[in-house]
Amino acid sequence: MSSDQRFFDFLKERIGLDVASVGEAIIERAVRQRSMALSAQTADQYWQQLQASTDEQQALIEAVIVPETWFFRYPESFATLGRLAVARLAEIKQMRALRILSLPCSTGEEPYSIAMALLDAGLAPHQFKVQGMDVSPLSVERARRGVYGKNSFRGQDLEFRDRHFTEQTDGYRIADRVREQVRLQVGNLLDPTLLANEPTYDFVFCRNLLIYFDQPTQKQVFEVLKGLTHVDGVLFIGPAEGSLLGRLGMRSIGVPQSFAFSRHAEPAPEPVFVPVPAPIPQRSAAPIPTRPRPFSTVSAQVVPIKPPPPQSDAADLLSQIATLANEGKSLEARAACERYLQSHPPAAQVFYWLGLLSDVAGSALEAQGYYRKALYLEPQHPQALMHLAALLESQGDVAGARRLQARAARSERADSERKS
């Protein structure tokens, strides 16, 4: 076992992090930073210090976790939440307050966005409460402080800042009426006792987390999330996680760009599992063609695209595409794909991304063509196999979907055998 592998395994055990989802370089850099902070001369020395100190264990986790969030990220999710909350209160005849959970809540932008959205939707303070939770004590402390810089406010519509914040010398302080709706605490989603004695939640936000786990951990965490969500509740996830939830027994509620899922009316048959792709926006296919396919429209705003610097090579451009796609910047990601194809030989991964972006935009036929181009160049491309299978299934071609799923599963087994 290499020295680095020990740290990979430690993070996998503590927070479920799959090294393949972030790349080894991220973790290696964090280990070097913490080693220098403790004046450890070798990896073995730092490993011993890590094992002896719970504070250092948390410090390494903090070094790996880099919060990347802002207020009203994926705005349609919050608009949808407002509408659903009003309907949910009517269903329960306003006999109790709505319960909303945000985890990981990072530095607080998401739970405070939830509270602002519900207040703006007309809910009274006594009608809802928001619980925010994160594995990082530092992030939770920043959230409790409630003061934010300009990086937390992105996009064109910032009217909410005028309504709910007060500008001061060190940033923008969130209003007490919003802060009082949110309770914040430290917690680990992998803890089997997490919120064990709490009632279920009407709405759960868990976005862009599952993509950092391997398959067994994804299933484990999903069961926890399902247990935390009321049977009639709604689970909001990140754009890259829709396919996963579709395979695990959830169904999109059908509101484009909301990334909101509810339970199936009946248990879904046990699916064939294939690898979940790297963190880039995905679609979630409904199992029968008569239901509307989620994410059928794109509301992305056209933003001028700066050409890459002349020295950018293929790897840099591929990384740029992944970053843009993961941030939900569909038009910019598509343009970066086109730039790649103009200056480099065709690549399966680029055609896969084009297929995914078309799929998210609701262009099923175009998406199918791109997925097939990716598979022409790389017949066992796992993500292209998975998403083309989901697309065929949504169109009623169940047999074709099953063939692709079986092909992906065989590829995964063969890959595992080569690595063993």
Neighbour-count burial for 117-131, b at 16+ CB within 10 Å, e otherwise: bbbebebeeebbbbb
* Residue corresponding to tokens 């064939």: 272
Q: What is the rounded CA–CA span in Å between residue 209 and residue 237?
A: 8
pTM check: above 0.75 = no
pLDDT for res 290:
38
Architecture of the CATH domain 75-263:
3-Layer(aba) Sandwich (3.40)
pLDDT for res 419:
55
Query: What ranges do the domains of the chain cover?
Result: 3-64, 75-263, 314-419
Architecture of the CATH domain 314-419:
Alpha Horseshoe (1.25)
pLDDT for res 362:
66
CA 41 to chain centre: 36
pLDDT for res 293:
38
Low-confidence stretches of the chain (pLDDT < 50) are: 1-2, 266-311
pLDDT for res 417:
58
- Could you tell me the CA-to-CA distances from 44 to 35, 289, 313 in Å, in that order? 10, 56, 36
pLDDT for res 78:
96
Residue among 177, 263, 273 nearest 226 (CA): 263
pLDDT for res 416:
55
pLDDT for res 397:
76
Q: pLDDT for 300-338, tens place per residue? A: 343 444 444 444 578 888 888 887 877 667 788 888 888
pLDDT for res 413:
62
Mean residue pLDDT of the chain comes to: 81
